[in-house]
Amino acid sequence: MSNERFTTSREVYHRIRWDPRLDAREFVIGYDAHGDAMEEMPFEAFVPDGELPWHRVWYFKRGREVMWDRKERIDRLSHPAPSEDPPAPAPRRAPAAFTPLPAHRFDASAEAWVTAVAPSTKPPALQHLTVATFNVLFDLYDAELLDTARRIPAALALLRGTDADVIALQEVTTPFLRALLAEPWVRERYWLSDGPEASTVATYGQVLLSRVPFSSLVQRVFSRDKRLIAGELRVADGTLWVATPHLTSNRDASGAAARAVQVQAILDWALALGASEEGRPPDLVLAGDFNLGESSAEADSFAHAGFVDAWPTLRPLELGETYNPQLNSLAALTTTSGRLQRLDRVLVKSASGRLAPQAIELFGEAPLPGAPGPSGQPLFASDHFGIRCVLRQGSASEADAARGTARLVHQTAVVLIPPESAWPPIQALRKKHDAKFERWMPHVTLLYPFLPEADFDTVAALFEEALRDIKPFEVTLSAFGHFEHRANATAWLRPDDAPRGALAALHAKLAAVVPECAAPERGFTPHLSVGQLPRSKDGDLEQTLAAWARTWRSLSFPIGDVCLIRRKGDTPFEVLRRIPLGRAPLKQSPASTKGDSTLRAALASSSTPSSREARTSAVARLHGLCERIGTSLHPYGSYLLGTDEAGSDVDAVAIGPSSLSRDDFAHALLREVATSAPEAASSARFVADAAIPLVKLSLGGVSFDVSYASRPEGVTPCEPLTLLAQHAPQLDTSGLRSVLGVADSQGVLDALGTDEATHERFRNLLRAVKRWAKARGIYSHALGYMGGLSWTVLAAWACTRGAPDAAKSDAELLAHFFQTFASWPWPQPVALTQETAGYRPDGKRDLMPVIAPAEPLRNTARNVSRSTFRTVREELVRARELVTGARASSSPHAWEPLFQPVDAPRDLPARLRLSVEAPTPEAHEAAMGWVLGHLTALVYRLEGDRRLCVRPLQGPRVIFIGLDTRQSQDSGALSWKPGSPLAEAVETFHSSFLEWTNHPKDTVLKVELLRADDEA
């Protein structure tokens, strides 16, 4: 026996994963499933260091050839040898990572289930195809509460009652499969994807049943219990594939990541399937448990790939929850969130458009008759409701119609929204009874589903023209009504319009513009939903509504505009456009001009033509200095945007050749300054240990922060955006971040468009916002708030996304800014482009995501913490109220409270004071720079005590951190005694300062706790 070390399973895995000569998709992994038989999974389904440990991996195969085997000591990857038999070719239409399955049918003569091949008879012609999907709930956990012996016969009876052509089942266990195979109606009518051997349901899995014989069957295993099973059906019109997925849920900590991989695998398979078919691509139906939330990225990816979701297509006004802990006692037992969710779906992809959803309904919504379940609650067949969907073979004209409606999405809508002053009584009802309270604002639906957000600009212009003849009107909410569904009812308030018919006329105008959004069969019943109520046979529903009516007081309000709203992911809907009724484009009124004049008087901007001219001259001078050392200078930030003021630093990046290092650039520039601008030499210095190393200098009274990026070797001089587009991966981190500064600034300018009036409004808005944020101490990335780029993106968003009226004056635009972001549904990202809108918040560093305009996707406000998030929100709300008051006043003094600076002794009665004692001004500046650069670490340590909220504030030569407990019983969080959380957090920060490698000699950091009582 050889003493040579045998390669481990971990090493083999990574060899296959990273060796460019090997295709991981060709491999499968054999593993010990804690039984006598080995099981296999596709290589790509294996999660390193996951639930399956390395010691249970026994072999790797490519095709049928064993490439590594622990028991047989085979390692053909490290010691290749010629194979006696070439690997068998993969089965037809079984892409990489898919493996074939045998089909099963019941042989009456043998009285047994046997594997079988589809007969070579003429394919059946189907006018309709009925598909049923049902997660039947395994009993591996809490079996004593599930009464599976009673549920299995009930589930089988429900399935028989669907009379479906195709049945997709999830969470099937071996006992359930055994009972299914024994059913006479199953034996007589169906082909199955599994048989008595139960190979796909250990410990649980999926089973596919079809009345049409399977021409082929394949499976894609994602994990031991999660997979996709797909069957090919030959019908008269061609090929139809039906598949049942069961994707990973969020119950698993890594569920979202695993599910994203699974969804992509399904989409890749669907794409390959279409490309491999001769003639037109096959129709494809997915029916199963997707474990997707509404408006999730995965759901969007199916829509983008051409799949039509049957439920919202046919029943857009109903959520269609298949998992309802409020109604289903088993769902209440298994839920972790308590939310109503549409986890199960039927998706259809028909390239020709000839296969389309016709009808859809839920089944299994009623509890089983007889005694309650073991928990004492009514017993259901499963914790999920099933779906029965009828698909029809349509004509070419129906195909065209299907393509027209396929663009509609459920993340946008056109609605009427009552003024906020009318919300309290409506919201009081909704908060108690409406499961969608967090998702929707109070509204009357006009069009839903609606067109994608990308069409908003076009459709808003069309709506504005169409609604010029519709005058504002009044709505009164005075009576209740309801819509009945299978399992519950939607209660709503009836909006009575005055003049009568105004709502119908408004809806007709909108429907004429986008007829695909207003199918005639849906009708139009104006209503404002307030909740969902259970259905009952004894009149409880009517009695409840009558009781509400007795206490409801009629509520009237004006309607002056139509709102285009959208939502992203699981965030609430937000208003993106307001279309005025009966109004021509407004001219700037004297009142708004007056508001502008008082605002400008209050601002008394320090930016003058002469100061801009001096700054331009200083920039030109620095250009010349950089050119002399072989680099090009590129200012960005406020200077490039035109929002700089006297006293503002100019941020710039110098770009040079690969032969010039960052240190060499800095020293060369400092030498050139000493020679050509000796008056600036004394203050010029290189800050090498900054997050982005830079040269700080002052020319003609203008301060510069100059970073550096070197072009990769062989790259000729080019513009920053070209360098970024073609060579970003070759730039070092500091160089990349510096060049991105230019790209982000240019991205803001691009988002503003070419209209100079828009740019001027933006500059005025950003100057006002910047002055406000600096006065309130929240204009600082280093302190844990939002920095210049974040506030710039918010201002640009307000300028480009505001209602037309908001842009009529500077005062109105400022009011729109604060109204928007004081109520923004964080952590919904603020993004300026479609590309950056794809950012997905993830974790505590994404409390307030403001996305940089240039890719890669970045949150510019990642330093915002639990406490600083609260501070920014409170300041935005304060500003909104002050601006409302100032606009109602004619005095410029009315604006002064908006820009009132924070006073530390008054506004921060308990605070830490961080100061530095240093022998020289340079040492003091360097030490304070370190403190500022590391302050967020101290903030996070302080926030480790959940009783404590902090507010950093920068003062002259000192930094304060306000301390607030909000609850009197939490005053112990302010203890300064040794060993207290507060004292330990400060001590850790102080120790880090002392351990700083470039700590200036004889420099001392002082941290003191100040209280209002101590200063009195």
Q: Is 100 within 8 Å of 88 (Cβ atoms)?
A: no
> In this predicted structure, what is the pLDDT of residue 252?
63
Residue of 904, 840, 640, 907 lying closest to 747 (CA atoms): 640
Rg (CA), the chain: 34
Inter-axis angle of helices 255-276 and 297-304, nearest 10: 10
Specify whether the CB–CB gap between 564 and 576 falls below 8 A: yes
With CA atoms as reference, report the closest residue to 273 among 218, 191, 310, 210: 218
Share of the chain above pLDDT 90, in %: 44
Per-residue pLDDT, averaged over 342-367, amounts to 87
| Chain-centre distance for alpha carbon 373 | 39
Residue 405: is its pLDDT beyond 50? no
What six digits make up the tokens of 939?
């903030």
Report CA-CA distances (Å) from 877 to 598, 792, 818, 824, 948: 21, 19, 7, 11, 22
Calculate the alpha carbon distances from 632 to 125, 268, 720 in Å: 71, 46, 10
Q: Given strand 650-656, what is the order of strands in its sheet?
A: 632-636, 650-656, 702-710, 694-699, 685-687
The whole-number average pLDDT for the span 222-251 is: 87
Higher pLDDT, 774 or 514: 774
pLDDT in tens, 788-806: 999 999 999 988 876 555 5
* pLDDT tens digit sequence for 159-189: 999 999 999 999 999 999 999 999 999 999 9
Comparing 873 with 887, the larger pLDDT belongs to 873
- Give Cα separations from 62 to 41, 56, 76, 78, 1016 (angstroms): 12, 19, 11, 14, 80
Cβ(841)–Cβ(829) under 8 Å?
A: yes
Could you read off the pLDDT of 929-951 as tens digits, one per residue? 889 888 988 998 898 888 899 99
Q: Give the start-end residues of each E strand in 682-782.
A: 685-687, 694-699, 702-710
Whether pLDDT at 912 is above 90: yes
Could you tell me if 220 and 214 are in contact, meaning their C-beta atoms sit under 8 angstroms apart?
Answer: no
CA neighbours closer than 13 Å in the CB half-sphere of residue 165: 22
Rounded CA-CA distance 703/651 in Å is: 9
Q: How confident is the model at residue 807 (pLDDT cuts 50, 70, 90)?
A: low
Could you tell me the two tokens for 626?
A: 């950089």
Amino acid, single-letter form, for residue 41: M
Q: Which residues have CB under 8 Å from 493's CB, separation 6+?
A: 426, 477, 479, 480, 481, 527, 528, 530
Q: What is the DSSP letter of 846?
A: G
- Of 165, 199, 195, 166, which Cα lies nearest the Cα of 180? 195
Give the integer Cα–Cα distance in Å for 308 and 352.
13
The dihedral through the CA atoms of 822, 825, 827, 833 has a sign that is negative
Is residue 292 left, alpha or beta, with left meaning phi > 0 and alpha meaning psi from -120 to 50? beta
Helix (H, G, I), strand (E, B) or coil at 349: strand
Question: What is the model's pLDDT at position 52?
Answer: 74
DSSP result, 450-504: B--GGGHHHHHHHHHHHGGG---EEEEEEEEEEEE-SSEEEEEEEEEEESTTHHH
One-letter amino acid at 171 equals E
What confidence score (pLDDT) does residue 295 get? 61
Judge whether 341 and 297 are in contact, CB under 8 Å: no
> How many angstroms separate the first and last alpha carbons of the chain?
87
How many whole angstroms separate alpha carbon 260 and alpha carbon 273? 20
Which range has the worst mean pLDDT, 235-244, 710-719, 805-814, 863-872? 805-814
Q: Which long-range contacts (CB under 8 A, 24 or more apart) does 824-828 make?
A: 824/574, 825/571, 825/572, 825/574, 826/869, 826/873, 827/571, 828/568, 828/569, 828/571, 828/572, 828/574
* Angular region, 621: left φ>0, alpha ψ -120 to 50, beta rest: alpha
Q: How many residues does the chain have?
A: 1016
What's the pLDDT score for residue 85?
39
Q: Which amino acid is at 375?
A: S
What does the pLDDT read at residue 25? 67
Average pLDDT over residues 348-364: 85
Mean pLDDT, residues 910-922: 93
Segment 703-748, tens digit of pLDDT: 999 999 999 999 999 999 999 989 988 999 889 999 999 999 999 9
pLDDT band at residue 364 using 50, 70 and 90 as cut-offs: very high
The whole-number average pLDDT for the span 379-388 is 95
Helix (H) or strand (E) segment spanning residue 437: none
Parallel/antiparallel/unpaired status of strands 166-172 and 128-135: parallel
Whole-number pLDDT of residue 51: 66
DSSP secondary structure code for residue 424 in this structure = H
What is the residue-wise DSSP string for 797-836? HHHHHS-GGGGSSHHHHHHHHHHHHHS--TTSPB-SSTTG
- What average pLDDT does this structure show over 579-594? 56
For CA atoms 403, 404, 405, 406, the dihedral sign is positive
Question: Helix, strand, coil: what percent of the chain each, to 5?
Answer: 40, 25, 35
Question: How high does pLDDT run on average in the chain?
Answer: 85
Ranked by mean pLDDT, the top range of 250-254, 261-265, 483-487, 781-785 is 781-785
CA pair distance 691, 226, nearest whole angstrom: 45
- Per-residue pLDDT at 1016 exceeds 50: no
Most confident of 5-19, 385-399, 474-488: 474-488
pLDDT of residue 336: 77
Instruction: Please tell me whether residue 320 adopts helix, strand or coil conformation.
Output: coil
Count of CB atoms situated within 10 Å of the CB of 871? 25
DSSP 586-620: PPPPHHHHHHHHHHHHHH--S--HHHHHHHHHHHH
Q: How confident is the model at residue 517 (pLDDT cuts 50, 70, 90)?
A: confident
The pLDDT assigned to 826 comes to: 79
- pLDDT above 70: percentage of residues in the chain: 87
Instruction: Kindly report whether the peptide bond that precedes residue 203 is cis, defined as omega within 30 degrees of 0.
Output: yes
Does the pLDDT of residue 86 top 60, yes or no? no
Most distant CA pair in the chain: distance in Å? 105
Q: Which of 66-70, 724-728, 780-784, 1009-1013 has the lowest mean pLDDT?
A: 1009-1013
Alpha-carbon span 151 to 329, nearest angstrom? 13
* Amino acid residing at 304: H
To the nearest 10 degrees (0 to 180), the angle between helices 921-943 and 866-887 is 100
> pTM for this structure?
0.51
CA distances (Å), 757 to each of 464, 644, 749, 799, 800, in order? 21, 18, 13, 11, 12
Express each pLDDT in 977-1004 by its tens digit: 998 999 999 998 998 898 888 888 899 9
Strand, helix or coil at 989?
Answer: helix
Residue bearing the bigger pLDDT, 604 or 92: 604
Q: Which pLDDT score, from 0 to 100, does residue 292 have?
A: 85
3-state secondary structure of 872: helix
Residue 825, both tokens: 């549904």
- pLDDT: is 130 or 274 the higher one? 130
Spell out the domains of the chain, with CATH numbers in brackets: 9-75 (no CATH), 127-392 (3.60.10.10), 412-580 (3.90.1140.10), 609-750 (3.30.460.10), 753-898 (1.10.1410.10), 905-1011 (3.30.70.590)
Q: What is the mean pLDDT of residues 458-472?
A: 86
Strands (DSSP E) contained in 33-140 are: 38-42, 57-62, 65-69, 74-75, 99-101, 103-107, 112-116, 128-135
pLDDT value at position 1014? 60
Measured at the CA of 556, the angle between CA 552 and CA 562, to 5 degrees, comes to 125
Q: Given a cut of 50, is residue 321 above it in pLDDT?
A: yes
Q: How far is CA 581 from CA 37, 181, 512, 784, 975, in A?
A: 71, 63, 16, 43, 59
Provide the phi-psi class of 830: left if phi over 0, else alpha when psi is between -120 and 50, else beta: beta
d(Cα 622, Cα 632) in Å, to the nearest integer? 10
